[in-house]
Amino acid sequence: MKVLRAKSAGFCKGVERAINIALRDAKTGRYSHIFTDGPLIHNNQMMAELAGHGVRELDSDHKNLTAIPPQERDKCAIIVRAHGITPQRREILKKLGIDFHDATCPDVAKIAGRVKMCANKGFATVIFGDPQHPEVVGILGYAQERGYAVRTLEDIQKLPPLGDKVCLVSQSTMFVDDFEKIAEALKKRFPAAEIYNTICGATRDRQGDIPALVEQGAQAIVVIGGRHSANTVKLAKLVEASSVPCFHIETLAELDLNALKSFKTVGVTAGASTPGFLIDEVCNAIEKL
């Protein structure tokens, strides 16, 4: 069977950077305890891989850190997740008294910087994204309590009066077309609003690869990645909206290979947090059909 592998499948630069920071800390021998503030990335298999190197999540109440004797704290490190955190959370982590390493995706950091700059100038911030997503939560922390997350056109109408100083940014993994619709609606309500399309290049590339796979002859597309990964879920939705069947899986074990036997050409893509070894396993299994 012919397999068409999307050019963008696999780690984006931000995820790769975060993993490299964690592995660097694990391999130096400098630390006996390495913590991440929440999942470093949204992929269970890669987090399990990191756990094998001694990298684990910090408990919400910090119990797994406070259980370590004070004399051993100089051998501990905390790593900020790729999604970023609020400035308030950053201060809390820095006060833990252990080495602090920031693995925030540079693209996410740029969005936070944009929001901070606008907030300092008196702007209210509207962010297109999931209000519960850690990236959105972190970015809103820079809005100086004048930040609002919106997901739909209806949410735009529910916004309170914000005056003339309004700026719009986006969670980095949203649909490009949806952002344009949100921007148009916001402009109608707040004509002076400043629009900043902050959807990252990696997300644009992945979304663009879906129609490209179909054009190349893919009769079905397998999307590999966590079901809690925002960019992976959006890829699956794009496939579902196209003319071919979608198979969203986290690992090869979930893939119904028998269901693929009726196709001659299958496309394979993956979310930004999906490690290459998972993609290779899936592609190899499909090619053997």
Residue positions annotated with a catalytic role: 135
Please report the sign of the dihedral spanned by the C-alpha atoms of residue 240, residue 242, residue 246, residue 248.
negative
Question: Which alpha helices (DSSP H) does 87-246 contain, by range?
Answer: 87-94, 106-120, 134-140, 153-158, 176-189, 201-215, 230-240
The CA R_g of the chain, rounded to the nearest whole Å, is 21
Q: Which of 11, 21, 49, 44 is nearest to 276 (CA)?
A: 11
Compute the Cα dihedral for 83, 88, 94, 95 and give only its sign.
Answer: negative
What's the angle, vertex CA 266, arms to CA 261 and CA 271, rounded to 5? 125
Q: Which residues pair with 35 in a beta bridge?
A: 56, 78
| Residues 193, 188: Cα–Cα separation, whole Å | 9
For the chain, the residue count is: 289
Cα 222 from Cα 3, distance rounded (Å): 10
Question: 224 by DSSP, 3-state: which?
Answer: strand
Residue of 29, 90, 46 lying closest to 228 (CA atoms): 46
